[in-house]
Structures are given as structure tokens and as C-alpha cells.
Structure 1
Amino acid sequence: MQHEANGDSSSKPDIAIVGAGIIGIACALTLSQKGLKVLVLDSQAPGMGASYGNAGHMATEQVFPIADASILMRLPAMLLDPMGPLRLDWRYLPRSLPWFTRLLWNLRRAPYNASVSGIRTLNQHSLDAWRRLLNSVDGRYLLKEDGSFLVYENKEAAAELEALRSRMDTQHVAVEHWHGDAIRGVAPQLSENIRGGLFFPDTAHVINPFQVVNMLAQAARANGVTFAQENIISGQVGSDGVILQAENSSRFSARKVLISCGAYSAPLTTALTGTKVPLDTERGYHLMLPNERDRLPVAVTSLERRFIMTPLDDGLRLAGTVEFAGLERPPNMERAWQLQKLSRGLFRSDLDTTEAQPWMGFRPSLPDSLPVIDSVKDGRVLLAFGHHHLGLTQAAVTAEIISHLAAHGAFQSAVSDQRIPDLLPYRLNRFS
């Protein structure tokens, strides 16, 4: 199949997807299952961006925005502590100031509550959507639905934990309070320092995030989806579709385009829609410990230390720090190694860091903590990006929404399916 814009309508894909992360690949597979001819374009192989190194946790319990009013009190530490759990590089402050201003504006009661509602709605649909998607490719074994823990150590943290449990109850998040001994009954290698925590029975984790992307990509190829390793830098919308411009001057045409290239989505969105999106990036780090496959049976997050540990089939993944420093500055891998230091005291014996592998990736973040999921330009431009640290969690439900938008070509049509949430909070025009 030729992809260059050559006027041959028979070779033109129904939809070109820009972005081969978990969102783009899930969408590609779902669209191909609907019978559409799909082309996926990305500068990297499938899953080699942020999807490669996410925590692997299906975080359906995380229904609150990435920041609350306490961020004002934490701002000095964010600027001064290079190893803190939430870091703002002072050199990036001038460029990030408009984004943080919007974030603070969204902390007012009404927009904050709207963000909570929007996140919760997607999360409530997420696991069912993942079951459907994985079942369709005989990949259900990749998903472990055993719940997860949020644990605490210090007596002073008990009140914070109880306040969080109360807030989650209000949002209808399934949550149980467990004492330390009960937690150690499930995860016996955790130390006696663990006083207790919250158990989230409706969460899950995947055994290998990269393997999930690869399995979906393989199934998409079997369905006829084609892939091209191209860096798309611009494009234009015409009366009969979309033309995309690659960095090497190649041109690709399709009847529709889906922009799902994560932290890199803003320039192409502006080029094709005229809307400037306030998209920034949370630089997330992980430390992979290949010799710790059997430490934990489920994902465990530390309330005080603010990081997560997820058991994968190729080791224990420590993840969860956030750094705002943009797309260009090189990674500070000391932040990844800091995760190992944070783990000390959480287990009966220290973790084995032999052959440990540090990593950094870019999470696409919008100041209201909601993704853009929409159909614009008379249905010719579809959008699915900005899921911040919930990209894996919300990928399958996003793919279902996009498949409905692609089929019906109108925003309102997607809402008619009972599985699809109200899409108003995720529309692009909230930034117009």
C-alpha cells in the first residue's frame, strides 16, 4: 500500500494515527476491528515512548487531579529539592509558568470538581474496556486483577490516610482500610514499619506494559494495520481528508487523522485545528529491578514516600516521581536511583539492585488533568492525548470512544452507547 499523497483514493487509509504508544495502538486495533483501513505513524517503534516505562498499574482509584491547593505550599521544595517527588526545574519555570497558572486556576472548587468527575468517569469504564480489548486478542493473562495497596508507616500519617479514604468513598471508589498485619499476610516481605493502609479491590496491573503494546500491535498488523516509522511535523485538512507532512518531506494522506502522540501532540493539533493546547509534560522516572520478581504480589504505593512498586514478569518496577523540565533537557537519572533509596525500610531486607535499569519518559499533561478526546473539523481530525499518568489505565476506553467517533463522525453520536461516558469534559474547545 502506498501512503504518499498521490491522488489514488483506493490506497488512501480511512484513518492515519499519529502516535504508536498505548493510546494509539489500542485505537489502531479497535478501529481495525471495525473494518477500517488504518495507518500508524511514529518516529519510534510501537510502545517505545512513555508506554514502555509506565508503572504498569491500572490506577482506577486515582480520581483526583495531579495537584491540589497544597501545591502552593510545596512550590519552594519543588524548586529547591532536585530529588523531591514533585520537581520543577527552575530553568524551566519561565516556560512552564502559563501552564502552572492555568493549573492553579483549575484548583477553584467548580473546575476542580469537574476534573474529578471527568477522571472518575473514564476510570469507572477503564477495566471493563481493557477486559474486552484483551479478550479480543486472547491476552487476558496480561492483566492481573488482584487489587493494590496504599500503605503508611508513621502514626502522624493515619489522619491523612483516613481523610483520603473518606474522599474516595465520596467518589464511589471501592476502598478498604487494612491493618499492617493483614497487609503483610498478602505481602509478607513488607516490613513491620507498615502500620496499615488502604486496599483498592477494583484496581489491577499488567505483567509487562511493553508486552501489552506489542501484543496489541501484532494483532493490529494481523488485522491489516500498516506501520511507518516517520516523524510527522505538520499537516493540513482538506475537503476530502487530511495530508500529513513528515520530517523527511514524505507526505501521507488519509480520510481522517487521529492525533495520539502523547507529549508531542500540541504542535500538530495546532496545525490541523488552529487551537493552541496548553500541553506540558510530566517527566516520569522508573527503576527496574530484574532480580526482584517475587517481592510483591500486587502493586504497593507508599503514602509518605510517594512512589509505587509494581511486580512485573521481568522484575519489580519502582516508579512515580514527577519532574517538570520540558521535552529537551536530558534526564536526571539520579531521580530514578532515588527510588531505590526510598524503598529502604519498606521491606524486611533491602531490594537487590544488581543489573537495575533506570529510565525516563514523558507523560502528556493538561492543567485540568483531563485528556482531550474529541472529533473536530467535520470528523476529519480525531484527538486522544493528555492522559498524564493514566494513559495505560484509560487507553482501552479511549479506544472505544475514538472508534465511535470515527464511525459516526459527530461528537454527540458517541454518547448514545451506554459504555461510552459523556464526552463534554474532554472536548478540545475548552481551550478555545
Structure 2
Amino acid sequence: MTATDTDIAVVGAGIVGVACALQLARQGRRVLLIDRQAPGHGASYGNAGHLATEQVFPIADLSILKRLPAMLLDPMGPLRLDWKYLPRALPWFTRLLLNLRPAPFQRSVAGIRALNENSLGAWQRLLASIDRSPLLKEDGSLLVFERHESRQALAALRARMQAQGVPVDLWSAEAVSEAAPQLSPSILGGLFFPRTGHFLDPYHVVCEMFSAAKAGGVRFLRAEVSGGRVHGQGVSLASDQGPLEASQVLISAGAHSAKLTATLTGRRVPLDTERGYHLMLPAEQQRLPFAVTSLERKFIMTPMADGLRLAGTVEFAGLEAPPSMQRAWQLHRLSKGLFRRELDAEGATPWMGFRPSLPDSLPVIDRVADGKVLLAFGHQHLGLTQAAVTAEWMGRLVNGEDCPQISAYRLSRF
């Protein structure tokens, strides 16, 4: 395909890439969307489905130092670092620790908050534009606790969130029981986040967006991009389906974005992977009214059209190690005691996907190489939450508009 056929080649058909392709096509660009899988079959397929606008803090704080032995030794822990992967992960974790110093930590919080504060409105606009608003349930989410000794930690978290402008309500045990009567009476209360929500089927959301993008002229090519170069007329990409030409390329390939970014820009990006797991329980569609997270057990349960999705475990083991599906089944064991009646795991299906993560917990959203290379990746576990607002900001970048919002997400910070 020649540059005259394609204004922008979008590499990566996850939720961020598809949202950007749709936005750019609506701005009159001829868009080619490229992925080695069908749209939505990467991390977007199996995420927790939670519109996590309340999660404004980085993926780790200084307590990670105390947890490091458990991360290495407990294969079923909520945060695991495979000891065989440690030598490759060490530079990334060193950067992570450096970003926990007060000034960079506050920059990360401000960057996450800026995206999250705009995320709900952006999703409302995007879904309304494709006539699919009911796919998002704007009914809030709940963080529950079970131990009396957790009250202090819960109060501290509430204060930190209020300081960041996150809407949060303190719920008593009675309020939890009234709203979610199937939860265990052992739950002592929790924090309710009214400006959050959940998607009934994250994969279906990508499919509906992709259908709208195709109707708007976006073409899709199933291919694996292996490299490329920037030249005077645009960008040449090498793929297993032959060479591809475009005036611009948008790299939005999630955990697989670093190599192509380095090839086209000469900049190494410290991108690593949070391997996330879920367990889907098809017999449990009606158990919860909204997403519920356990403070002590550190996982989330999201009601969806096809069942209840248990998710939240994080593993650092790279892109090549085989999945450890026992981590997915561990989520069912973690749920025991949270309900009046144990969750039914009949027909349950486990899943693992790669979340792209940078050591400052911020994505890269940028326009480089004289505008020929666009970047939108590294959203860690907030890709679903931040996809729609990322697409809006990318649209402004492509139009050459002043976009001061993206200063915190530029590639040059590395």
C-alpha cells in the first residue's frame, strides 16, 4: 500500500488503537489499522472491565520494598515478580523506585489524575457517537474491607483520594449490605466511588468501535509489523504481508510497542509488562450490582453480560514465559468468604494478557519525528479507562492543535 492510500497507519488494534483509528477517521484521515490478531484480542479482551477513574496513584509506592521478598517467593501473591525474570526486570524496577521519590511521584499522580478526570466524559461522548451508551454502566464501584485493623488504612486512603479531588463516600456495613445484599455480613464497610462504572463486555466495546471505524472508512490489515523507517515522504513499515507506506504511523501496540518505537525514533522506551489474569464465572451474572474490590484480598469482581469477572492479579514475567493459569484460579479461592453463598465456578474460564507498563505509571502520548510518528501506549492497567480521552487528545495532536495536556506524557521524559 502506498502513502497516497494511507494518511495514518495505526499499529495495534486494542482498545486504544481502535479508539484512535475511529477518532482520526472522523477527522478526515485515511486510516489503516494493523494488528497480528483480530481487533480487541490482546489485553483489551480480558481486562477487569472497571472504568477506574478513582485509581489516581501509581502502581506501586515505597511499601513495595517490604513486599519484594514475598513478590519473589509467593507464586500466588497478588503482586508477583518471577525470580527468573529478575535480571531483565531490574533496570525497570530501579526506574520504578526512583519514581517513588516525592517530586516524580507527585508528577505521576498529577498525570494519572489528568487523564482519569477526563475519562468518563470522553467515554460518554464516544459511546453516544456510535449509539452504544448502554454498554457502560455508570453506577459506581465499591472497595470493601473485612478486618477491624483495616479501618486506619481505609481512612488514610480516603483522605489521600479526597486530597486529589476523587469523589468518594464512606459506607457503613449496613449501606454495603443494602446495596449488595449477597456480600458476606462479615464485611465491615467500604469506600464507594460514584464517578466510576463498568463495561458489560470490554471485548464487545472494541468490536462496536471497530464496526463504527470500518463504517467511517478505516481499513484493517491482519499483519505483524516487524520494523520500519521514517523518510522524507512519510513512513515505510515492514510486515509479514509485505511493505506498507503511510504519511504517518501511530504506534499503539500496547506491550509490543517498544521495539517499533526504538526503530522509528531511535529512542529506547523502558516498557515492561504487567501480566494480568482473570477468571470468568458464567453462572454468576446476577451476583453483584457493580464492581467490588477487596481491600485485603486485593482483587476486583465485575458483573458483566456473560458472568462475573474476577481480576486484579499482577505478575512481572515478561512477554515470553508461559501463563500460570493457577493464578487465575487463585482468584476464585480469594473470593471465598466474601459472599453469603460461595461463587459458582462451573464452566469458569481463565485468561492472561499483557498490560504495557512504564516505570512512572504514565502512558506515552506524543507526536515525534517531525510529526510522522505518533505514540499512544503504556497505559498499564488503565488502558480501558483512558482509551477514549487518549483518542481525543491524539486527534488534537494530529490536527496540529496546541495540546498542553500531553506535556506529562511525552517520549522525551525518558
TM-score by length of 2: 0.99
- CA offset digits 1:227-283 (Å, max 9, x no partner): 00101011100111101111x261111111000000000000000000000000000
Is 1:184–2:177 an aligned residue pair?
yes
Cα pair 2:35 2:221 within 8 Å, conserved: yes
Q: Indicate whether 1:271 and 2:272 are aligned.
A: no
- Which of 361, 385, 394 is matched with 1:393 structurally? 385
The equivalent residue for 1:413 is 402
Measure, in 1, the Cα distance between the counterparts of 2:4 and 2:103. 49
Secondary structure at 1:321's aligned position in 2? Answer: strand
What's 1:426 paired with? Answer: 409
Q: Deviations over 1:52-89 (max 9, x none)?
A: 00000000000000000000000000000000000000
Q: Distance in 2 between matches of 1:324 and 1:190?
A: 31
**Which residue, out of 44, 47, 52, partners 1:51?**
44
Equivalent-residue separation in structure 2 for 1:158 and 1:249 (angstroms): 57
Q: Are the equivalent residues in 1 in contact too, given 2:50–2:302 (CA < 8 A)?
A: yes
| 2:346 counterpart (354, 379, 402) | 354
Specify the alignment match of 2:372 in structure 1: 380
Aligned mates of 1:367, 1:309 — CA distance in 2? 26
Number of the residue aligned with 2:70: 77
Matched residues in 1 for 2:19 and 2:335: separation? 33
- What are structure 1's unaligned runs of at least 5 residues? 416-421
Partner of 2:82: 89
Match of 1:228 in 2: 221
Q: Secondary structure at the match of 1:423?
A: helix
Question: Where in structure 2 are the equivalents of 1:284-303 lying within 5 Å?
Answer: 284-303=276-295
Q: What is the identity, as a one-letter code, of the residue corresponding to 2:409?
A: Y
Aligned counterparts of 2:245 and 2:413: Cα–Cα separation in 1: 28
Q: How many residues align?
A: 414
What is the alpha-carbon root mean square deviation over aligned residues? 0.8
Question: Following the alignment from structure 1 to structure 2, what is the Cα–Cα distance between the partners of residues 107 and 390?
Answer: 19
* 1:402 aligned onto 2:394: yes
Q: Distance in 2 between matches of 1:309 and 1:378?
A: 44
Q: Distance in 1 between matches of 2:4 and 2:88?
A: 45
Correspondence 1:261-340 to 2 at 5 A: 261-340=253-332
In 1, Cα distance between the equivalents of 2:4 and 2:273?
39
Q: Which residue pairs with 1:418 in the alignment?
A: none
Is 2:362 the partner of 1:370? Answer: yes
- SS of 2:284's partner is coil
Letter in 2 for 1:161: L
Q: Distance in 2 between matches of 1:193 and 1:88?
A: 32
Give the ranges of 4+ consecutive aligned residues of structure 1 lying more than 3 Å apart after TM superposition: none
Q: 1:203 aligns with which of 196, 199, 205?
A: 196
Q: Report how far residue 10 of structure 1 moved.
A: 3.5
Q: CA deviation at 1:414?
A: 2.3
Contact 2:4–2:246 (CA under 8 A) maintained in structure 1: no
Q: State the secondary structure of the residue aligned to 2:402.
A: helix
1:282-330, Cα deviation, whole Å (9 max, x unpaired):
0000000000000001000000000000000000000000000000000
Counterpart in the other structure of 1:214 = 207
Once residues 318 and 249 of structure 1 are traced to their aligned partners in structure 2, the CA distance between those partners, rounded to angstroms, is 38
Q: Where in structure 2 are the equivalents of 1:155-170 lying within 5 Å?
A: 155-170=148-163
The separation in 1 between residues aligned to 2:221 and 2:378, in whole angstroms, is 23
**Residue 142 (structure 1) aligned with residue 142 (structure 2):** no
User: Partners of 1:406 and 1:377 in 2: how far apart?
Assistant: 13
Cα distance, 1:35 vs structure 2 = 1.2
